[in-house]
Amino acid sequence: MPTEIDLIRLIDTIKTGLSARKRYCFILGAGASVSSGIRSGAALAREWLKELRDMNSEYISKWIKNSGINDDNAGEHYKDIYTKRFDEIDPETGYIELQKEMDGKEPSFGYYHLARILTETSANLVITTNFDSLTEDSIFMYTHKKPLVITHESLAKYLNVLSDRPIIAKIHRDLSYQPNSSNTDILAKEWKAILKRILELYIPMVIGYGGNDGSLMGFLGDDEVASNEKSLYWCHMNGESPHKKITDLLSKYKSFLISIEGFDKTMFLMGTKLGYSFSEETVRKTTEERIQRYTESERKYKDELESKKKQGTLSNIEISTVNAMTANDEKRIIELTKKIKENPKNAEYYDERGNSYYNLKEYKKAIDDTTEAIKLVPDNDIYYYNRSVCYYALKEYEKAIDDMTEVIKLDPDGDAFNSRGNSYYNLKEYKKAIDDYTKAIEHKPDNGVYYSNRGKSYQAIGEDKKANADYAKAKELGFDDKTQK
């Protein structure tokens, strides 16, 4: 029989194990998605059962009665209810129903801690029966890592169980690969081989999984897999007794039952105990870096289109794109002007409108708007960055330098030093430009643009040997354009 322990003891055990480089994996079921707004399989089954009853079909009523299905055990009959509700008539409607259930859902706060654990410890693997993308979304949102996501049994062979990379194994597929909603009693043979290997190396922790599918439960209960020498931690909700099929399964393992108050609180306590408290600054910085990279890339492309427009060399598709961008920005300005009238203290509205004015080459209006944004939120480096870009476009390089200096004070990074270096270069202050490009390289040594820009500055002061070395490095990094700034 399983040993009952409290959550604190589980977390302490895991912390000790991780310090010894033991491997742990999470087995997540639908209960891990509920706080993100995705209903559990049992809740969906109850709704579909009601819809079947509302059909007032004698055939359906007889099926429900003969099957012994009711609201209390609907979750255990998820597959049968799903099949009767959707697959017998139009399987595509079932897929649409699941898609609607998951569209627009974002990871709840527990996923922040899960993402940190998956990317920073040897507990780097998730096995899930869920179709949603909450785990991989959280890794993208909160870390700089990219998980290996196995969404189909044909890809299972590519799962390297010894990898330190975060791994997500979706044994019932996901919405992109014909989810197995009506076939959850069968585990594909491709999964069996790799899951057996996983359980030889990893200690599983089960959270939010009710065991209502026959596939994973059948696999875990297989005598060739189960062993009373293998540890298995099974979390269940406070006040709810585990179903007999779960306790029967646990009797085959060196198992532990842990009563919890839900996925979010469990992951919060675990993450905090492991030292991964939520950092608003880190999350904001990660998001702002992505915004800045996108904005910078988009501006460069738009400037390229503008240059081609002046030269009369735009292709038909580029002409269409320029016209669409202009229309979009003009429309966005009207929308934001209305929002500013309704809420004149919202700095983001001014900054967004400033971006649209910038796109339309109305730089002075863009400067006015970003100045208002700075007045409202004087410690936001993005606003200074955006205004600096406007000054640079007007060739007011001293002002561009002043604003980029503020950016560097608030959040120094390679792009900021590179941008300030560009202004110094245009003022022919080449040594200052070189200093800034060097600092940019220190922040991002794999950026070929920075080397190319520094090379051009060295060339301007006659240090051709250093210039050529930088050009060669830029080319090695995949960048070969000495005119790029």
pLDDT in tens, 103-158: 888 999 999 999 999 999 999 999 999 988 999 999 988 888 899 999 888 899 98
Identity of the amino acid at 216: L
The pair of structure tokens assigned to 297 is 């890339």
Backbone angles phi and psi of 237, in degrees to 5:
-70, 140
* pLDDT confidence tier of residue 177, bands split at 50, 70 and 90: low
Tell me the average pLDDT across 340-344.
96
pLDDT-derived band at 461, boundaries 50, 70, 90: very high
For residue 141, what pLDDT is reported? 87
Q: Does 78 have pLDDT greater than 80?
A: yes
Calculate the average pLDDT of the chain. Answer: 90
Length of the chain: 485
> Which secondary-structure segment (H or E) carries 119?
helix 110-120
DSSP letter string, 369-410? HHHHHHHH-TT-HHHHHHHHHHHHHTT-HHHHHHHHHHHHHH
Give the position of tokens 């209903």.
39
On the question of pLDDT at 319 being above 60, the answer is: yes
On whether the CB atoms of residues 320 and 305 are closer than 8 A, the answer is: no
> In the structure encoding, which two tokens stand for residue 162, read together?
């010894």
Rounded Cα distance between 13 and 340, Å, is 54
For residue 446, pLDDT beyond 90: no
Instruction: Give CA–CA dist 42/75, Å, rounded.
Output: 4
Q: Is the pLDDT of residue 285 over 90?
A: no
Contact by Cβ (8 Å): 26, 249: no
Report the chain's C-alpha Rg in angstroms.
29
User: pLDDT by residue (tens digit) across 215-253?
Assistant: 899 999 999 999 989 999 999 999 888 989 999 999 999
| Torsion sign, CA atoms 151, 152, 154, 157 | positive
Phi, psi of 112 (to 5 degrees): -60, -50
| b (16+ CB within 10 A) / e for 332-352 | bbeebeebbeeeeebbbbbbb
Nearby residues of 117 by Cβ (< 8 Å), 6 or more positions away: 123, 267, 270, 271, 274, 276
Burial class (CB in 10 A: 0-12, 13-18, 19+), 3: exposed
Do 25 and 125 contact (CB within 8 A), yes or no? yes
Tokens 């959707």, residue located: 86
Q: At what angle do helices 280-311 and 414-426 cross, to 10 degrees?
A: 40
The full set of domain ranges for the chain reads: 3-36+107-278, 41-102, 412-485
pLDDT in tens, 45-56: 999 999 999 988
Query: In the chain, what percentage of residues exceed pLDDT 90?
Result: 63
The Cα 397–Cα 412 span in angstroms is 19
Confidence of residue 170 (pLDDT cuts 50, 70, 90): very high
CATH topology of domain 412-485: 1.25.40
Q: Which two tokens stand for residue 180?
A: 């197995």
Q: Looking at residue 186, what is its pLDDT? A: 76
pLDDT in tens, 404-438: 999 999 989 888 999 999 999 999 999 999 999 99
The CATH code belonging to domain 3-36+107-278 is: 3.40.50.1220
